[in-house]
Amino acid sequence: MSGWRCDGVTFRYPEAEVNALEGVSMEAPAGGCTAVLGPNGSGKSTLLRILLGTLMAEAGTAEFDGRRLTAWSRPELARAVGVVPQGEEAAFPIAVRELVAMGRYPHLGPWRREGAADRRAVEEAMRRCDVSDFAARPVATLSGGERQRARVARALAQEPRALALDEPTAALDVSHEMAIWELLRHLARAGTTVLVVTHNLNLAARYADRLVLLHRGRVAAAGTPAQVLTRDTVERVYGWPVRVVPHPGPGPDAGAPQVVPLAGEACGTIQLREEEGHAA
């Protein structure tokens, strides 16, 4: 069995009063796109850190490609898995091309010299993420969205067999957001294991094969988009009234469940009705 898998993972940050993860079991099969969803603070980034071996579970096990994360050496894992962490690390005073070329570090030989294959991988990653035009610009001068695309390009330049991305499209406009999702689907179909944390339920439903929905550190639902994104589950986990409608098409994802949060009067009536119904 390859890809990621974890069983009964529990984790608490030092000094925290509650567990960030509690008995979490999930899998992200090789050659598929798995999306991790959940409200703010539900444990998505923590789960990713467990699956990347940067945090150790207190109970339970986590493995990548059939081996416990604790059995992987850092350099080995760095060659296998490309990572786009959440948010900004300090903007290095370097150009975009240098940032993207950092993705090649795990592959460079003892003299750290780039070869033709390294340069090709860097150019190709910049092209795919639409950052070639500002390859020479200092990273610090990019907009949030441009920088985000450069960070994705760095992970791609690594040519990893798996990719883990934490909210990679958070700062992107519609066309660049769609382009990243198209890219992720393309990579997954070509055999890359893709694990992506996102708040975009509707794009996750269209692009991911499997969803894992976290709620207060536990798995609230997991499975296909249609299994996970039901009105009941979404309303319970997010605490907001919604309707779930099929994507109207056209396109390969026509019929995918799309979550529409209600607003205004509709929202008020529904909350009232639910309070009565639940007799809380």
Where does this chain bind ligand ADP (CB under 6 A)? 13, 16, 20, 38, 40-46
Closer residue to Mg ion (CB): 85 or 257: 85
Tally the C-alpha atoms within 13 A of residue 241's C-alpha that lie toward its C-beta: 14
* Residue 205 contacts residue 257 (beta carbons within 8 Å): yes
Q: How far apart are CA 64 and CA 113, in angstroms?
A: 29
**Shortest Å distance, C-beta 39 to ligand ADP:** 7
Kindly give, in sequence order, each residue whose CB lies less than 8 Å from that of residue 88, ignoring residues fewer than 6 positions away.
147
Which among 63, 60, 81 has a CA at the least distance from the CA of 71? 63
Which among 192, 246, 51, 53 has a CA at the least distance from the CA of 209? 192
Closer residue to ligand ADP (CB): 43 or 53: 43
Closer residue to ligand ADP (CB): 220 or 256: 220
**Shortest Å distance, C-beta 24 to ligand ADP:** 11
Contact of residue 198 among ligand ADP, Mg ion, none (CB under 5-8 Å per partner type) = none
Strands 242-246 and 81-84: unpaired
Contact of residue 158 among Mg ion, ligand ADP, none (CB under 5-8 Å per partner type) = none
Residues in touch with Mg ion (CB under 5 A):
44-45, 86
**Shortest Å distance, C-beta 180 to ligand ADP:** 19
Contact of residue 16 among Mg ion, ligand ADP, none (CB under 5-8 Å per partner type) = ligand ADP
Closer residue to Mg ion (CB): 46 or 258: 46
**Shortest Å distance, C-beta 84 to Mg ion:** 12
Contact of residue 175 among Mg ion, ligand ADP, none (CB under 5-8 Å per partner type) = none
Closer residue to ligand ADP (CB): 69 or 125: 69
Closer residue to ligand ADP (CB): 43 or 160: 43
**Shortest Å distance, C-beta 36 to Mg ion:** 9
Q: How far apart are CA 53 and CA 58, in angstroms?
A: 12
Kindly give, in sequence order, each residue whose CB lies less than 8 Å from that of residue 176, ignoring residues fewer than 6 positions away.
130, 145, 149, 169
**Shortest Å distance, C-beta 113 to ligand ADP:** 37
Instruction: Provide the greatest CA pair distance for the chain.
Output: 70
Contact of residue 38 among Mg ion, ligand ADP, none (CB under 5-8 Å per partner type) = ligand ADP
Contact of residue 40 among Mg ion, ligand ADP, none (CB under 5-8 Å per partner type) = ligand ADP
Q: How far apart are CA 183 and CA 129, in angstroms?
A: 8
Positive or negative: CA dihedral 224, 230, 233, 234: positive
60, containing H or E segment: strand 59-64
Tokens 């299994």 appear where?
Answer: 227
Contact of residue 169 among Mg ion, ligand ADP, none (CB under 5-8 Å per partner type) = none
**Shortest Å distance, C-beta 164 to ligand ADP:** 13
Helix spans in 81-173 (H): 96-101, 116-128, 144-157
Closer residue to ligand ADP (CB): 19 or 161: 19
Tokens 């069983």 appear where?
Answer: 7
